[in-house]
Each structure stands twice: as structure tokens, then as C-alpha cells.
Amino acid sequence: MGTPFLNELRHTHRSMITDGLQALSRGYMEAYLAGVKSAGVQVREINVEGRNYVKLLDIARKEGVGLMVLGAYGTGKLDDGNMGSTVTRVLRHAPCDVLVVRDTPTSGSCVVVGVDGSECAETAARKAVVWSRVLRSPLHLMAAYDPDFHTQLFRSMACSVPAERIEAIGLKRQEEVHDQIINDGLRALYSGFLEKAVQLTGSLGATATSGLVRGKAYRTLVDQTEEKKACLTVVGRFGHHREKDSWIGSNTEALVRLTHGNVLVCMSEQDAEADDGKETSTLEWDSEARARLMRIPSPARTMAKSVVENELKQRGEGRVTLENFLEIAQRLGMGAGPGVRDG
């Protein structure tokens, strides 16, 4: 006798929940649609049922979306400083740019751009010029270099490696080489990245201030955002040390989590093409150029390779020769140590 009653109760419950959520969703949409239409923006409504982040990502891929805009928190926000689960998952898997919003931009506040010489950072700088005009905000370019990591690395190695092995593996000599390339070379390298970004924004008709900061990239970006009261921070989705299975760069994700402001995370054009299933181009390396690249200590080698390839692609070159490798390395400060010098 109880079974029909329980079945009816379950059916009624499911119906109430489904109808209630649909009504709630329509209520949310009506408010947004009214605001968008009053601003004179064309809009199309899409209503789907399912997990928020899954459906958002499905729609983005099917519709070929160029930008996803999400609040940093949802209705389940807790005052613990963490982002909402939906925006976290969308940010990691989005096939396009993502704008994470925390507050309303105010006219005149600064747009800060993180610069590291990568393709994503170049795209971020280009898009930041447009956003600075829309927001009527001054543009500030900043680059951060962090040599302290490598200092700590060698200290740990010195403590871990037996004394008789330190001399055999040349740890002291390797540390001296790293001091030359990492401590001195990174500063020169990132100064070059910053100068190039200033030239890029200038070529797009924008005037920008710039600054080079020592420290971890995400931490310095968070600090600069707060110090300059930035209305928007623009960064690339990936830096130089991207791995094949990476969803998003660690510095970018940490920045979005820790900052109190709005962040625009930009895909590079190459990444957008790859997500569309198009093949990305890679440059051939002459054996002499590759041998010289391998002299650079591994912590900086990936970045050096990416920098050289990006510049040559912009020149329309299809091959890395020893001559153009050395020319780029010397100009950007990667020739500060025996890793890339002649002789």
C-alpha cells in the first residue's frame, strides 16, 4: 500500500524541483536580458538542463565562442577566498578567453598586463589595448623574473648530495653558470620582453607605462593589481613552461584565485587554432643551433627555445639556424653566460 504513495511523492518532488529550477533560471535570464538589451547589445538566449560547467563548455565549443564571462563566485559563495567551482572548472577547460569578474570597473583605473615574452602574453597585450580604450583606463605593462627559485634549488642539492659527489658532478661550477645565466640573464631577458611589449602596444596606438619586478609572477601581479587599483588584469593562459597535458599555467591560475580584481585570461592565436583541430606549426632546428640550445641549463632552456621560435615565426622564418639563434639570444640577454656564447 505504501509503494504507490511513495512513487507519487517522488514524482511530485521531481516535478516541483524541475519546475522550480526552470522558473528560477528564467528569472535570472530575464534580469540579464533586460540589462543587455537596454545597453543596445544583441543577445540570444540559450536554456539547457545539466551541470553548469559541463553545459557552459559544451555551448562554448559548439557555438565557437570567443569570450566567456563568469562571476568569480556563485550563489553558494563562502567567505573563504576560494573561487566558485563552476568558474574554476570552466577556467581550466575553456576553449577561448575567459573574463573572471569580481567588481564593476571604474573609469580611469588602470589596466595591468602580465608580460613574459610568450605567445599568449603577446595576445594579452594586444587585447589589453582594446580593453583599456573601452574602459578609458591607462595601460601598465609589467614583467616579473624570479631567480630565487634556482638559488634555493642549488642549496637543496648541496644539502642532499654527498660531499664527495659535489665536486665530481661540478655542482659549484654549475651554480656559478646558473648565477650568470639565471640571476643576470633573466633580468636582461625580461627587460627585453617588456621593451618589446611597449613597442607592440605603441604600434597599436597606445601609450603604456612599464615596470620590471623581481619575484614570483603570480604574487607580483597580485601586488601590482592592488597597488595600482587595477580595474582589469590581463594575462596569457600559458607561459613558456607549458606541458602537453597542462590545462592552464600555474601562475595564471594562482593570480585568478588570489586577486581581488577582474582578470582576463587570453588564449594565444596558436592555441585557438589547435583547439579547432588545426595543426600548429613547429620550426626545424639546424643541428648546430640545437646543440647550442642544449648548452643552456634546463630551467631556462624551454623558455629560450620558445622565445627564439616565436620571434622567427613573426619574421616569417621556417628554420632556426645557429646565426639567428645567437643573434636573438645575444639581443635578449641570453648570452650572459657560457650557455650561448661562441667559443
- CATH 3.40.50.620 residue spans of the chain: 102-279
Question: In the CATH hierarchy, which top-level class contains the domain 281-343?
Answer: mainly alpha
Output the pLDDT for position 309. 82
Q: Quick check: 51 pLDDT over 90?
A: no
Q: Quick check: 6 pLDDT over 50?
A: yes
- CATH 1.10.8.550 residue spans of the chain: 281-343
DSSP calls for 192-259: HHHHHHHHHHHHTT--EEEEEEES-HHHHHHHHHHHTT-SEEEEES--SS--TT-SS-HHHHHHHHH-
Instruction: Read off the amino acid at residue 298.
Output: S
User: 316: burial class by Cβ within 10 Å (0-12, 13-18, 19+)?
Assistant: exposed
DSSP calls for 104-123: ---TTPPEEEE--SSHHHHH
Structure confidence at residue 336 as a pLDDT band (50, 70, 90): very low
Q: How far apart are CA 113 and CA 225, in angstroms?
A: 10
Range of lowest pLDDT (17-26, 69-78, 301-310): 17-26
Mean pLDDT of the chain, nearest integer:
79
Q: Quick check: 155 pLDDT over 80?
A: no
Mapping DSSP onto H, E and C, the string for 64-80 reads CCCEEEEECCCCCCCCC
Q: How far apart are CA 91 and CA 97, in angstroms?
A: 9
Q: Quick check: 62 pLDDT over 60?
A: yes
Decide which of 277 and 8 is more confident: 8
Q: Quick check: 335 pLDDT over 60?
A: no
DSSP calls for 140-171: EEEEEE--HHHHHHHHHHHHHS-HHHHHHTTH
Q: What is the pTM of this model?
A: 0.72
Structure confidence at residue 139 as a pLDDT band (50, 70, 90): very high
Q: What is the mean predicted confidence (pLDDT) over 106-127?
A: 89
Residues 292-330 have pLDDT tens digits of 888 776 556 767 777 788 788 878 888 899 888 888 877
Q: What is the mean predicted confidence (pLDDT) over 235-264?
A: 88
The grid coordinates listed for 47 are: 536554456
How big is the CA angle at 77 (ends 71 and 79), to the nearest 5 degrees? Answer: 115
Structure confidence at residue 343 as a pLDDT band (50, 70, 90): very low
Q: How far apart are CA 295 and CA 293, in angstroms?
A: 5
Q: How far apart are CA 34 and CA 84, in angstroms?
A: 25
Question: In the CATH hierarchy, which top-level class contains the domain 102-279?
Answer: alpha beta
Output the pLDDT for position 277. 43
SS3 label, residue 320: strand
Output the pLDDT for position 340. 40
Q: What is the mean predicted confidence (pLDDT) over 199-207?
A: 93
Q: How far apart are CA 34 and CA 136, in angstroms?
A: 25
Output the pLDDT for position 339. 40
